[in-house]
Structure 1
Amino acid sequence: MEKERDEQGFMDFAQATGDKILSMKNPLVVHHYDCDGLSSGSIIALALTSKGVPFKMKVVKRLAEKEIEEIRAENSGEIVFSDIGSGQIKLVNVLPLETDIVIIDHHPAPEKPNENIRMCNPHDFGVDGNIELSAGSTAFYCFKHLESREILQLGIVGAVGDLQDYSKTGFIGLNRKMVEWGSEKEFVFVSKDLKFFGRVTRPLIQFLTYSTEPFLPGLSGDEKACALFLRDNDIPVKKGEQWISYTDLNVFQRKKLIGALVEYGKSRNLTDEVLEELVGDTYLFLQEPEKSEMRDATEFSTLLNSCGRHDKADLGVAVCLRKPGALEEAEKLLSEHRKMIRFGIAFAQKNTMDVGPFYFLDARGHIPDVVIGIVAGAFFNSGVVERNKPIIAFSYDETKQTKISGRASRALIEKGLDLGEVMRKAGEAAGGLGGGHSIAAGCTIASTREAENVFLKKARQIIEVQLQLLSKVL
């Protein structure tokens, strides 16, 4: 039964949760390793630091029995989980009852927490954490009363990293209210603009050359063709001897470039849906240095994702906390991260198969598990394939188990698709563990033909029913 929506109740509960965390003596902050986990964990760290409260941090890729035992061994009487814990509440409930535990999360919880656990979760207040609050933006509401620019920015970055910034609408619900509050405080500048990655940091030619969402046939990957395209459309690429970025263009030049890209996309048969998504809400943090990834929410989120997914989560937190030298080190990692993604997309273009209810990419041995979900999403959104079905991709994780990632579109979700349910049920049928959000989810199973066949068969059945491709009910 769905709970009645209570936004004010959520915001009051969130602030009380933040105050509870600030009253702790020396908590252990356990956070997920992706962008939203790093953002929310760093928000908690910033809040505790502002009040002089000591703390320790621990990053996890997953929360299973092994990680719970590691957390138990820390022997901490106070634990704060962020972007993880609700979906694994059965495991968190086995921690000692005398432990003071707080969970800040946006994933649905399968059962109630023990009395020693305070869980701040939008789902408990009738607010959908899949689409309108991430862990980062939930953490923002916990500490909104501190009126911190850095906390607001990380709330936005976490939600962007968790794909809650939709092309047609931008943020919705409480995410939108967060941005409106930040805009009033002049902590963020919001505008409708071109959404390509690299708007702030990349010179214009490279900005187009490395575009992947959408993939522009004849331009993406061809630096010479991009230079000629800009020249033919009278778009400057230099100011004096300095290469300029997209954000250096004036409003008339930006409109001209967007118009030229739309016409080019039409000439290359990109769908109207893909072309409409060229432009959407963008979020600039004008107090951050120019030409810095931290100035643009999308670039900031990608930077944090690259840290987390390459076993450098501590570096991502250091960037968020403005530690000296951290940004420069993370920028080097981001460069390698983007190279891996470009290689992965090229592989996906040649090897993705249409298997009926979904597209299937078997990238085991070719694309690392740390970027397989990003590659699947980027290829899915590239305009190369019709987005009338989700994509499921296989890779190997560090233990040689099969890591599975699924990505979809908002239109498919509105038709009934829920990849979180697909991964959870198909993963369980195959003896693995899965879950996530309706639009992006993942699973890990044994690397055996039997487990993989069971997963694919079950996933097919669930997707067919969700999208009403079959009349039967599972």
Structure 2
Amino acid sequence: MNLEDGNITESRNQMDLLFNKAKDKILGAEDVTIYTHTDCDGITAGSILSSILDKLEIDHEVNFVEINQVDTLTSDTDLTIVSDLGAGQDISNLANNSNKSVIVLDHHPPIRRLGTQLKGDLIEINPNYYGLDGSYTISGGGLSYLLAKSFHFYDLSWMGILSAVGDMQNSMTGKLRGLNKEILHDSTEVGCVDYINDLLLYGRNTRPLFVALSYFGDIHLPLTNNRNECIHFLEGLDIPVKNELGTVRYLCDLSMDEKSRLFSELLKMMTREVPDRYIKYLPKLISGESYEFTFEQDYTSFKDASEYSTVINACGRNNRHELGMEVIKGNRHLIEDELQSLVKQHKRYLAQNMSRVLEEGSVEILDNIQYFDGDGIKPSVVGTIAGMLLNNYDWQKPIVGYTHVNGENEGYKVSLRCSKLLGYDGIHYGNIVRKISEKCGGSGGGHSVACGAYIPEDNIGQFIDLLNNAVKL
């Protein structure tokens, strides 16, 4: 056992005591309110918790909320569970009633000290309290699964993998680490997940190989957005674009020899495009573990965990969180047509708005960041579009998009995305954004390479200036 494994085991034992307390609270509850985040991790976390309560035949309701809504949440039930948020927000409204119990299952950096007491009974389970980085150790849905595991509901383990991949927990190394490995072990033991080492091209089962290659990475390459060049590139490697029947081939159709040749050439190409200090990290951005759900059909969006997570994110981004939960909980047959229509509309919306930003030249380049005013873009997808724009601009600077939010607290939803390679510089952009948003009268946070904030109407210029000054590349 290495040092990291030893630390994880010790931390896991400490957390297990809290999971058992949470289990007792659930068994003693007559009705439960669940509040969970709106992205894939949050929707999956809520689905796991709802599945636990279904199995126990406990009345409950699931509510999907944004980070900036947490401090105003209330609950009338005797138990409230908050998943994939709450650690970085004020939960006193929920936990200051002495007759109520609150369980917080979150993996984001906490603002409260371990053991903080409020008027109500609070159980807060967060890996960061035990020296484990929640950016890659475990997701919100992973914590919900570990709670399910305390009930011996191992059949829900595949959902923990979906959460982890949807939360990009494997993005820095190409594979799941930390407590995620425990969940992966459980899911393979019960036979619901397989994993192999593969090229990290998105769309293993659904995108023709040359199309997947044109979208590869967040660094601009000669292949980027150039399908004809991708076809020529593959032909030069003696990798057929179509099979003997004339049908296009997908990544999952390639032999190991073909994948090896493709890996070598991508590595050479990327090596020419990045500073020397990043070269050692390139192999794990090109190749890594791919996770498949054994109970799903081949060549569908549900076979591969990464593609499945996109479907759930599409539900969340379009304010159809309950649709995503129905998919995860096994009721897809009831909403198949509606789901397909939503995913198509989502992809079309993203493509149209990305093209508009590019055509209008909306991205402004500063010393340390680049940003765009996404006026008219839905707040739920401005981060997705920012990520899609990365390989069209300077990948060595984070890109920030913001768009107007209407409602009771008008202002701006801000999203930051950056190349995975910048994560190796040791800068945690989520922590930076959280601190700066507070200075601007807002709130925010997130992971090292993907984060966001809500900023008051008049302070967006201040936020951009402070962020540009805070980022030293």
Q: Distance in 1 between matches of 2:219 and 2:462?
A: 33
Superposed, which structure 2 residues align to 1:38-437 within 5 Å? 38-64=43-69, 67-68=72-73, 71-72=74-75, 75-93=76-94, 95-111=96-112, 112-114=116-118, 115-146=120-151, 148=153, 150-168=155-173, 170-209=175-214, 211=215, 213-214=217-218, 219-232=223-236, 233-238=238-243, 240=245, 242-262=247-267, 269=273, 272=279, 277-323=285-331, 324-346=333-355, 350-357=361-368, 359-365=369-375, 367-380=377-390, 382=391, 384-387=393-396, 389-399=397-407, 401-409=411-419, 412-413=422-423, 415-437=425-447
TM-score w.r.t. length of structure 2: 0.84
Contact 1:364 1:394 (C-alpha < 8 Å) held by counterparts = yes
Q: Tell me how far apart the structure 2 counterparts of residues 365 and 408 of structure 1 sit (CA, whole Å).
A: 21
- Secondary structure in structure 2 of the residue aligned to 1:27: strand
**How big is the shift at 1:311?**
0.5
How many Å apart are 1:459 and its aligned residue? 2.1
Amino acid at match of 1:316: G
What amino acid is the match of 1:208?
L
> How far 1:219 sits from its partner (Å)?
4.3
Question: Is residue 443 of structure 1 aligned with residue 453 of structure 2?
Answer: yes
Which residue identity does 1:296 align to in structure 2? D
Secondary structure at the aligned position of 2:470 is classed as: helix
**The one of 14, 20, 25 aligned to 1:20:** 25
Q: What amino acid maps onto 1:126 in structure 2?
A: G
Residue aligning to 1:472: none
What's the offset of the Cα at 1:334? 2.5
Equivalent position amino acid for 1:195 in 2: L
Distance 2:298 2:21 in 1: 36
1:69-104 deviation digits (Å, cap 9, x = unpaired): xx44xx222211111222224444555221222221
Q: CA deviation at 1:189?
A: 1.6
Which letter maps to 1:81?
Answer: V
Change (3 A) 1:231 1:398: farther
Cα deviation for residue 293 of structure 1 reads 2.1
Q: Matched residues in 2 for 1:396 and 1:105: separation? A: 27
1:89 and 1:109 in contact (8 A); partners too: no
Q: CA deviation at 1:319?
A: 0.6
Q: CA 1:150/1:236 → structure 2, altered by over 3 Å: closer, same or farther?
A: farther
In structure 2, distance between residues paired with 1:67 and 1:328: 36
Q: Which AA in structure 2 matches 1:440? A: A
Q: CA distance change for structure 1 residues 230 and 284 in 2, over 3 Å: closer, same or farther?
A: same
Q: What letter corresponds to residue 107 of structure 1 in structure 2?
A: H
- CA–CA separation in structure 1 for the residues paired with 2:335 and 2:262: 34
Change (3 A) 1:229 1:174: same
Q: Secondary structure at the match of 1:293?
A: coil
Quick one: distance in 2 between partners of 1:243 and 1:326? Answer: 29
Equivalent-residue separation in structure 2 for 1:307 and 1:234 (angstroms): 36
Retained in 1: the 8 A contact 2:219–2:419? no
In percent, how many aligned pairs have the same letter? Answer: 24
CA distance in 2: counterparts of 1:98 and 1:119, whole angstroms: 17
For 2:436, give the aligned amino acid. Answer: A
Letter in 1 for 2:207: R
- Residue 321 of structure 1 aligns with an amino acid whose one-letter code is K
For structure 2, list consecutive stretches of 5 or more residues without a partner in the other structure: 1-6
Residues 344 and 239 from structure 1, CA distance in 2 versus in 1: closer, same or farther, beyond 3 angstroms? farther
Q: Which amino acid aligns with 1:57?
A: V
| Alpha-carbon distance between aligned partners in 1 of 2:430 and 2:269, rounded to the nearest angstrom | 36
Following TM superposition, by how much is the alpha carbon of 1:221 offset from its aligned partner in structure 2, in angstroms? 3.9
Corresponding residue SS for 2:67: coil
Distance 2:11 2:323 in 1: 37
C-alpha contact 1:396 1:402 (8 A) present in aligned 2: yes
Query: 1:326 offset after TM fit, Å?
Result: 3.3
Contact 1:203–1:237 (CA under 8 A) maintained in structure 2: no
**What is the CA distance between 1:315 and its match in structure 2?**
0.6
Deviation at 1:14, TM superposition (A): 2.4
Partner of 1:471: none
TM-score of the superposed pair, with normalisation by structure 1? 0.84
